[in-house]
Amino acid sequence: DNVAEVVDANLAQAEQRTTRLREMLRESPGSTVYGLADVLYPRALRRRFWQIIATVQGHLDVLEEADEAEIHDGRWFAK
């Protein structure tokens, strides 16, 4: 019934996952997209590989755009 509330909740959840991904990059610099996806979504990764990889890549893109992460030779690092 309250679309704005649902949208806000979904955006908050996405922000939390992006924050978690940033923390993971700080703890494990040089991670790959697959490695990050395997930690964040271990069961879902096997069932919906392309969807999960795209989701993690999207979070990494957000961090890169915010100048909080960078990629070198296919591995991601926090800035």
Q: What percent of the chain has pLDDT over 90?
A: 97
> What do you get for the CA distance between the two ends of the chain, in Å?
41
Predicted pLDDT of residue 1: 80
Neighbours of 13 (CB within 10 A): 10
pLDDT digits (tens, 9 = 90+) for 16-35: 999 999 999 999 999 999 99
Q: In what helix (H) or strand (E) does residue 68 lie, and over which residues does it extend?
A: none
Q: Is the dihedral of CA 14, 33, 68, 62 positive or negative?
A: negative
Q: What is the mean pLDDT of the chain?
A: 95
Average pLDDT over residues 59-70: 97
Give residue 56's identity as a one-letter amino acid code: V
